[in-house]
Every structure is written in C-alpha cells, then in structure tokens.
Chain A
Amino acid sequence: MLKQTEGSHAVAEAVALCRPEVICAYPISPQTHIVEGLGEMVKSGQLQNCEFINVESEFAAMSVAIGASAGGARAYTSTASQGLLFMAEAVYNASGLGLPIVMTLANRAIGAPINIWNDHTDAMSVRDSGWIQLFAETNQEAADLHIQAFRLAEELSIPVMVCMDGFILTHAYERLDIPTQEQVDAYLPPYEPRQVLDPREPVSIGAMVGPEAFMEVRYLAHAKQLQALERIPQLAAEFKAVFGRDSGGLLHTYRCEDAKTIMVALGSVLGTVKDTVDEMRDRGVKIGVLGLTSFRPFPLAVVREALKDAERVVVLEKALAVGIGGIVSTNVRMALSGIHLHGYTVIGGLGGRAITRKSLHHHLGLAIQDKLEAVSFLDLNQEVVERELSREREKRRSGPIAENILRDIGVVAAKIS
C-alpha cells in the first residue's frame, strides 16, 4: 500500500510484517523512531505474539536477542554508532554462535568528538564480525531489505545487519509502498531454528573451542557468507516476483555501459552520485555508478565484472580508515587484482557533512584527468587543519582539538552544510 511515511516508521512496519517474536529496544539517535514504532505496535496489540523488552544498554539488547534467538524466537533489535560499539562483543558472539538475528543500523558517526549525524564509520567497525551487511539506498529499499534479511539470516543461520543512513533516510518522509501481510507471509516462512535450547532435546551451545577446531568454526562463517553471495541475488529475484519491485541484490550499476570512469559508493549518497553522473553524461563524459548493496559478503566477482572494462574507479567513502584512507576502496581493489586501472579514494560526508554535486563534480573532474590524489577528502577545510597543527607546534598545552576548531570557524551550533 502506498503511503507517505517516515523511513524509520516504514522499517518498523516492515519488521512488524515479518512477525518478530522478541524485540529489544535501547534508545540511541537516529534509530529511536524504529523501536518506538515497534513498541507502540506491540502495546496496542497491532503486533501480536511479540515480546517488546526495554533493555538497559545496547550490550544487553544484543544479549537478549542472542538468548531469544537461541530459544527459537525470531529476534530483532536496532542501534547506531556508539551503541554498536557498546554491543560489539555481543555482535561477534551472535555471528559466532550462528544466530539469525536481524538488526537495523541507522548509520551514524562515532566519537569523539560526539556527533549524531550520518556516516558509515559504525558499520565499517564491525565489517569483519561475521554479520551480513546490506546497505539501503532508499527508504523503500531499507524497508524491503528487512524482509529479505529475515529470510536470508534464517536460511543460513547467520545474523544480518541492514544499514540505512541516519537522518538522511531514517528521518525522511516520502511515499513508500508498504507490503501486505499476505505478501510477506508468502515470502518469509516461519522461523525454523537450526539449534534451539529445549529441555526435550538438551544441547550445549557456546562451548569453549581450542586450536583443534577454531579454524574450522571460523571458516564456516566465511563459507556461509560465500553461500550468501549466491542467495542474495536469488532472494532479490524472488522478492521481485512477490512484491513487484527491484530491491536488494549484491549491487546495482547505473549507466556503466562504455563507462571509462566508475564511481563506487553505498547508501543514500548514491542518489546525489547518480544526479552528478547524469550531468556529466550530458556533457559527454563516459561515466557510471556502482552502488554496493551487499558489503558483507563482498561480491568480489561481480564487482570485478562491473569494473573490468573501465579505466578508473573512484570510491566514495563515508568512513575513514585512519592511517591508511579507504575501507571500501581496499575491498574494491581486492576485486581488481591483476586489472590495471587507476584507483582513487574519496573520503566524504564524515559526521554528516553534506556531499554536494558541486564537490563531486570537482573531484570527478580531476579523476577523469587522472589528476586526483590517491586519497582525497571532499570539502576538507585544510586551513582549519593547518591552524590547529600550528597551534600544536607552538605550544604544548594547545587544548582540546574539537573545541579549538569550533572556535576557529565560529560555529556555535551544528551546521550540516
């Protein structure tokens, strides 16, 4: 059904249609509206046969989900940023135990300095935890990916994280197609656990494993992600058959035919990137876009296939691997082993800084002339950086960095652009 709704609420409705049995909620911006929506649905009786638990931390949220999932229940939670870091130990535990929990990650920067706005640092910090990570480009895709996520998680018995850009998606109102219960029921069968704690058939879960078997257990997690590489496109195709629209899959290409330059990105920024590419195409530049939906598993072969005929790839990243530069680009380059093309990393949008077409034009303009630096920063105010560096050279007690910089640029309240 088409309706005008907030991204968070659409996700709450999609999750509710998946008939979750245990939802654990802990507030952190910008995911709060999702669990608030679900909480209201459980309390009003709209979502039945579901336990909604207000926990005391994100660590507890994931731990309660672990217990619920091991008890055979379909479990869901949602978090962002610091919350994900606070639950990190349990995030690894959930995947290590092979429990098909689904979690929304409303992508947000990680402090210090504390910042509630969007970037992808949180998701990237747990990229190797064994969770599947799917990135939504739009709110429609965010809602749809949750329905696919439960199916994928439960089939493979591994947890799935659906990443959606905080505020940009979570708080945006737009027209969305919310599926019917019949559609979701036709797509998503009831949860049949591979392992369950039940006195009728006692098992021990979470035994201590030494060097004699640890490698194999970890490798199995990898093997399951490789299986997911095959299942993700199939599930997207089945999704289209039931719901009538394209959502999910490993990646999407846009105007990549005959493209010499391809920009790779993930999440909501793809809209801006596509608009920029349209404008460049109008000027005759042979340029295209590769939008990654599945970051874990990373679709090496499909990425390679999509990029192999290009001359250069520019990866736009909303996270910074401090001390090296790019994270996504490192992964992309893994896909390009043996292929000679120019690779560029553009770091942008950190802490919610707007990624504008103007800035993208500038960087892509340099890239197509192969004049772009290997790692560059979109709209970085170098002057501000230099001022702080010189302050630190001049005196030992130069003071708190973030506060110095805010004083320099005269910002009294958060400003996005």
Chain B
Amino acid sequence: MEMQPIKFYQTGTFTVGNRLLEETQRSVQANMERTNSLNSGHRACQGCGEALGARYAIDAAMRATNNQVIATNATGCLEVFSTPYPETSWQIPWIHSLFGNAAAVATGLAAALRVKGRHDVRVIAQGGDGGTTDIGFGCLSGMFERNDDVLYICYDNEAYMNTGVQRSSATPPAARTATTMPVGPQPGNVFGQGKFLPEIAMAHNIPYVATASVAYLRDLENKVHKAMGIHGARYIHIFVPCPLGWGAPSHDTIRLARLVVETGLFPLFEAEHGEVTSVYNIRKRVPVEEYLKPQRRFAHLFGRKPAVEVLTRIQGLADRNIRKYGLLAAGA
C-alpha cells in the first residue's frame, strides 16, 4: 500500500485535508467497497476512539486479505458495545471468550486454520489496554514468544473504561481514574509505574510492531495492511481517546489523538524484529499542556494553582520520547 505523508490540515481544525490528496491516498469513511466489518448501529459512546480504531483496523485487514479475517475479542467496551445479544455489529467471524485470553484463543484459531489447510484465512486478536497490558499479558507474551501467526491489536484508551474508568498499567501519570483519584499529596496516577507495551512486544523480537493513533487513519490503515502481509506474531498498539473516561468532549477525540502525537507523549513508529524501522516525525511540536488541558482527568493539574512541577515531569516524558525515538523532523 502506497502512502503519502499528509502535510495539509484544515485551518483551525485537526482534520486532515483529505480532499487535497489524490483519491487513492485518502482514508475514506464510507464507500461501496468498504466491508464495514464493525457495522453501524453498535452502542459505543459518541466520539468513541476505540470504535473508530477497530472499524479502520479491521476493514484495512479485510482489504489486505481479500476479506479472509477471523477476529477474537477480549472482554471490554469493544466486545460489549458490539454484541449485546441477540445483536452483533460484526460482519466477520468473531469470538469473545474471556477478558484475559484473546491472544490464546487466536493462537488456537490459527492452529486450527493451519491444520485445516486454510492458509488464506488470517487471525486478529483485539483487546483494550486492560485486556492487553494487564490481565491478558501472559497469554499475549506466550503468543509473541511462540511467534504464532496472529496480529494482536490493542486499542489503548488508558484505563478500564467498561467497568467505570479504573487505572490500568497503561494509565499515564497524574491521570484521574476511579482508583487514582485526584486527592492527597500526589493527586491522580503516580509517576514511575505503568508499562509501554509496544517496547515489550519488541523485546520478543517478533516480526512487526507498530503504534498508531486514530488521528492518523491513513497511517493506521497502512500499518495494518503491512502487518497482514507478514506471517508470525505481530502487534499494533492504537491510541484511542475515550470521551467518557477522559472527561473530554466527543468532538475532541481526533484532536486529542493528534495532540498526543504532536506533543511526543505517544510516539508513532514501526519496528521489525525488535528494531525501530520508521518513526512519524512531529511537524509542529506542541507543549503537553495543550493536550492535557481539554481533559477533565487532568483538571487537577490546572485550576487556580497549576501543578507546575507535575506538568514539567510530564513534559519530561514527552521530551524523552522525542529524544529516544528521534521524533523531530529535521528543522522542526
């Protein structure tokens, strides 16, 4: 899949100037050819980043495989909003088993397909950050380590949203969740904890690891397309804002998903066999405040007496990512 880096933004918005691209280079919401693997009519909240991410990721995988995709799904928002009995929004074969075993169920499916000689059919496992970085981590690491022919996609909205916004190991420092309340001497989630799973995935030396954000849909599609062209264990970690859990307006999902990248807090990159092979360059570096401020989960950092020290530490995390991954374009 060819991809032209997008350099056009509509003034005053965070929407990509899709119409300035050649038609073949556009990420298109709706057309006759789209499979709509996750169909409309599901029960996600308005502005749900996960629904958007899943729709684009699975449709891209369908395009890349001539519609030969089976998906497993960990318990979580995506599972609950897509399949309230007796309805389903999935147009593809899909299974939900448990919270912590989406990767292992996918391993079993891939084995079944191999033994049945169905080499054209590909398996994708999906989960939220809790199902991926916490409870499903053992099964995920096992799947990686065996290099099973599965693409695992984590939709990361940085907390357990389905159960009412509790902290996960993907929750960022200082963020308010129901279990890291903005009270006491260190309000919100503490510093020095948590894990960045893409790097742990890389440590397994699997063929392909990538991060993506729903603000960069063409990039997301491209990475899924690329992943489906590879056999073995693959991992894509997609940043998906959650208006409800973050206390952010529904219409800011794309804006936040872009700002997290432009600040450097969430690096977009690809890695093959444990080595970074490409990074998305930040075009216009943005201070972290711009990303944090619109979200009520960080409201305690602003108020009458801004938590300057905390903001400096968060800026430090962004700066570290920029340094570590070389996120600044030459001259930026």
- The answer to whether B94 and A89 touch across the interface, beta carbons within 8 angstroms, is no
Give the distance to chain B from A208, nearest Cβ to Cβ, in Å: 6
A198 within 8 A of partner (CB): yes
The residues in A between 71 and 94 inclusive whose CB is less than 8 angstroms from any CB of B are: 71-73, 75, 89-90, 93
Which residues between 67 and 92 of chain B lie within 8 Å of chain A, taking CB atoms?
67-70, 72-73, 79-80, 83-88, 90-92
Q: Do A89 and B86 touch (CB < 8 A)?
A: no
Is the pair B95, A205 in contact by a Cβ cutoff of 8 Å?
yes
Q: Per a CB cutoff under 8 Å, which of A64, A66, A73, A93 touches B116?
A: A73
The closest CB in chain A to the CB of B117 belongs to: A49
B145 in contact with A65 (CB, 8 Å):
no
In the complex, residue of chain B having the shortest beta-carbon distance to the beta carbon of A94: B97
Q: Are B68 and A199 in contact (CB under 8 A)?
A: yes
Give the CA-CA distance A205 to B90 in the complex, in Å.
10
Which secondary structure dominates chain B's binding surface?
mixed
A197 to B265, CA, bound (A): 39
Would you call A138 an interface residue if the criterion is a C-beta within 8 Å of the partner chain's C-beta atoms? no
Counting contact residues on chain B (CB < 8 A from A), the size range is 35 or more
Name the contact of B104 in the complex, choosing from A55, A97, A203 (C-beta under 8 A): A55
Contact A63 B98 (CB under 8 A): yes
Are B69's CB and A60's CB within 8 A?
A: no
* Given A73-B111, A199-B68, A205-B95, CB of A60 within 8 Å of CB of B104: yes
Decide: A199 and B142 in contact? CB cutoff 8 A: no
Interface contact B85-A71, CB-CB below 8 Å = no
Which chain A residue shows the least CB distance to B67? A199
Selected contact of A67 from candidates B84, B109, B141, CB within 8 Å: B109
Contact check, B142 vs A206: say whether CB atoms are below 8 A apart: no
Does A322 sit at the interface, judged by CB under 8 A? no
Residue B115 at the A interface, CB < 8 A?
Answer: yes
A197 touches B109 (CB 8 A): yes
Nearest chain-A residue to B104 (Cβ)?
Answer: A63
User: Which residues of B from 84 to 128 have beta carbons under 8 Å from A?
Assistant: 84-88, 90-98, 100-101, 104-116, 121
Q: In the complex, A267→B87 CA distance in Å?
A: 45
Structural contact, B83 and A51, CB atoms closer than 8 A:
no
Q: Are B112 and A208 in contact (CB under 8 A)?
A: no
Q: Which residues of A contact B90 (CB under 8 A)?
A: 202, 204
Q: Are A53 and B100 in contact (CB under 8 A)?
A: no
B94 touching A205, Cβ below 8 Å? yes
* Residues from 194 to 227 in A contacting B, C-beta threshold 8 Å: 197-199, 201-210, 212-213
Q: How far is the CA of A204 from the CA of B146 in the complex (A)?
A: 27
In the complex, A209 Cα to B91 Cα: how many Å? 19
Assess whether B187 is interfacial by the CB under 8 Å rule: no
Count of A interface residues, CB-CB < 8 Å = 44
- Residue from B79, B84, B113, B139 within 8 A of A56 (CB atoms): B139
Bound Cα distance A202, B36 (Å): 13
Closest to B84 in A: A208
Q: Does B47 contact A (CB under 8 A)?
A: no
Contact B96 A206 (CB under 8 A): yes
Q: Taking CB as reference atom, which chain A residue is nearest B94?
A: A204
- The distance in angstroms between the C-alpha atoms of A2 and B25, with both chains bound, is 69
B138 contacts chain A at the CB level, 8 A cutoff: yes
Contact B67 A67 (CB under 8 A): no
Contact check, A68 vs B101: say whether CB atoms are below 8 A apart. Answer: no
In the bound complex, how far is the Cα of B94 from the Cα of A204, in angstroms?
5
CA A90 – CA B87 in complex, angstroms?
A: 24
Q: Are A60 and B92 in contact (CB under 8 A)?
A: no
Distance (Å) between the CB of A71 and the closest chain B CB? 3
Q: How far is the CB of A31 from chain B (nearest CB, A)?
A: 19
Given contacts A64-B104, A204-B83, contact A90 B98 (CB under 8 A): yes
Q: List 9 A-B contacts (CB under 8 A).
A: A55-B142, A57-B139, A60-B107, A72-B116, A73-B116, A201-B93, A207-B96, A213-B85, A213-B86
Task: Give B contacts to A, CB under 8 Å.
Answer: 67-70, 72-73, 79-80, 83-88, 90-98, 100-101, 104-116, 121, 138-139, 141-142, 145-146
Task: Identify the 3 closest CB pairs spanning chains A and B, nearest first.
Answer: A67-B108, A71-B112, A63-B104
Given contacts A22-B111, A63-B108, A75-B108, 18 further A-B contacts (CB under 8 A): A24-B108, A50-B115, A53-B111, A57-B138, A57-B142, A59-B100, A59-B101, A66-B105, A71-B112, A72-B116, A73-B108, A73-B111, A197-B94, A203-B93, A207-B84, A208-B80, A210-B84, A210-B85
